[in-house]
Amino acid sequence: MGRRRARGSWTLRIAGIAVVVLLAGGGATAYLLASRPAARGARPLPSRVTSVQTVGLGAQPPATAGGGALRQLIEGPGGLEFSPVPPATQAAGNPVWTADLMAGGSYVFIYSPDGRCLAAAGRRPGAALSLQHCNLGPDQRWHELAATVKADGRVFGQFRDMGSGQCVSAASSAAGPASLARCNPAQPWEQLLAFW
Q: How far apart are CA 195 and CA 97, in angstroms?
A: 9
Residue 71 belongs to some domain of the structure: yes
Structural domain contains residue 42: no
Domain shared by 31 and 68, yes or no: no
What confidence tens digit (pLDDT) does each residue in 18-47 have?
A: 777 667 666 666 555 554 444 444 578 888
First to last CA, the chain: 100
Question: Domain residues for 10?
Answer: 1-36
DSSP state of 21: H
SS3 state at 9: helix
What pTM value is reported for the model?
0.74
* Pairing of the two strands 193-195 and 107-111: unpaired
Q: Quick: pLDDT tens for 96-111.
A: 999 999 999 999 999 9
C-alpha distances in Å from residue 124, one per residue of 104, 136, 144, 165:
24, 19, 19, 8
Per-residue model confidence as pLDDT tens digits over 98-156: 999 999 999 999 999 999 999 998 765 667 899 999 999 999 999 999 778 787 778 89
**Number of domains forming the structure of the chain:** 2
Output the average pLDDT for the chain: 81
Q: 44 lies in a domain?
A: no
